[in-house]
Chain A
Amino acid sequence: NAGVTQTPKFRVLKTGQSMTLLCAQDMNHEYMYWYRQDPGMGLRLIHYSVGEGTTAKGEVPDGYNVSRLKKQNFLLGLESAAPSQTSVYFCASSRDRVSTEAFFGQGTRLTVV
């Protein structure tokens, strides 16, 4: 069973380029999340979704957009990449918001030059 799958695993972008990170989960989870991980900062929530067709802002949403058109997929978009968006991005999903653990993808390492 795949769990949470992120695509791509690595990417290098030039400043100003756009891209979409794909996240797919096969556990029928309602909740999905995008986090970024930077050295010394832990994991910070970018955006999240509480169900198909819904999205909400997290702690660091600026410069990112998301969409949840299908329950199993959660897309993270960068419209105009900046070097400050160089990070490792993790997608996660959970059955509910509070009491169940989140399952994480393997991460996407993004470098913006």
Chain B
Amino acid sequence: AQKVTQAQTEISVVEKEDVTLDCVYETRDTTYYLFWYKQPPSGELVFLIRRNSFDEQNEISGRYSWNFQKSTSSFNFTITASQVVDSAVYFCALSEAYSGNTPLVFGKGTRLSVIA
């Protein structure tokens, strides 16, 4: 069965520091998708990025970057020059194409606190 592990429960950084949120996944499928969501203090879940298993290119979007490594089953998320507005809970999630019908499975989340 698919599984997503976010080992970091809480991280606290000072503004302008870089921070990496780890995500390790388990799947037997060769075709799967990985996602990151942000949940700010207001509570809603905001989609950040999607990556399929055949695309290992790293992605950069402004201060955000994602590193996908199939060899280590990891999909890590880095925030460069963190800001207070980055304070949120971040979830990594996985969906498999062929193994059963189970939809998106989430990790337990990492709470990031950015201190001014």
Contacts and interface: CB of A to CB of B under 8 A. Distances in A.
| Size range of the chain A interface in the assembly | 20 to 34
| Size range of the chain B interface in the assembly | 20 to 34
A99 interface: yes
Contacts of B91: 42-43
Contacts of A35: 106
Interface in B61-107: 91, 95-97, 101-107
Interface of A: 31, 33, 35, 40-45, 48, 50, 56, 58, 88, 90, 92, 94, 97-104, 106-107
Interface of B: 6, 9, 31-33, 35, 37, 43-45, 47, 50, 52, 91, 95-97, 101-109
A42 B95 contact: no
Given A40-B108, A41-B108, A33 B45 contact: no
A60 B101 CA distance: 15
A23 B31 CA distance: 30
